[in-house]
A = this chain, B = another copy of it.
């Protein structure tokens, strides 16, 4: 299963490097060297982080990215939702339509409680903890 997809994963690694060098601007070129990740893919990821206010971008020569917030305020959950959409362990898959049994479904009840558990855990993980 994929709790974390590759774009989220790459974003974390990129942010860790940026966090560790947070008084200067870090370019995509540097990150590609550091992480060994495909450049166009990483660019797309960095752009999204920038659009979502997690990174601040600097255009032009010597440009690149800096953190837009403190690492303590960058949450894993936010990153996951940025790249993977709203956190949801499993939708009701039954017949692809919205399920009429949601309320009575025992499986759903179990999954919902599990989901809450996981979400609360992920909510607490910040970039600060990962980059130290």
Residues of A within 8 A of B (CB): 1-6, 9, 12-13, 36-37, 76, 84, 87-90, 93-95, 106-107, 110-111, 114, 117-118, 121-122, 125, 129-132
Least CB separation from A114: chain B residue: B121
The one of B1, B129, B132 that contacts A3, using a Cβ cutoff of 8 Å: B1
State how many angstroms separate the Cβ of A61 from the closest Cβ of chain B: 30
Closest CB-CB distance, A3 to chain B, in whole Å?
4
A79–B87 CA distance with the chains assembled, in angstroms:
23
- Interface on chain A toward B: helix, strand, loop, or mixed SS? helix
Choose from B37, B110, B117, B131 the contact partner of A125 (Cβ within 8 Å): B110
Cβ of A105 to closest chain B Cβ, rounded Å: 9
Contact of A84 among B1, B88, B111 (CB under 8 A): B1
> Which residues from B are CB-within-8-Å of A93?
4-6, 9
Contacts of A90 in B (CB 8 A): 1-4
- Which residues of B are found within 8 Å of A132, using beta-carbon distances? 106
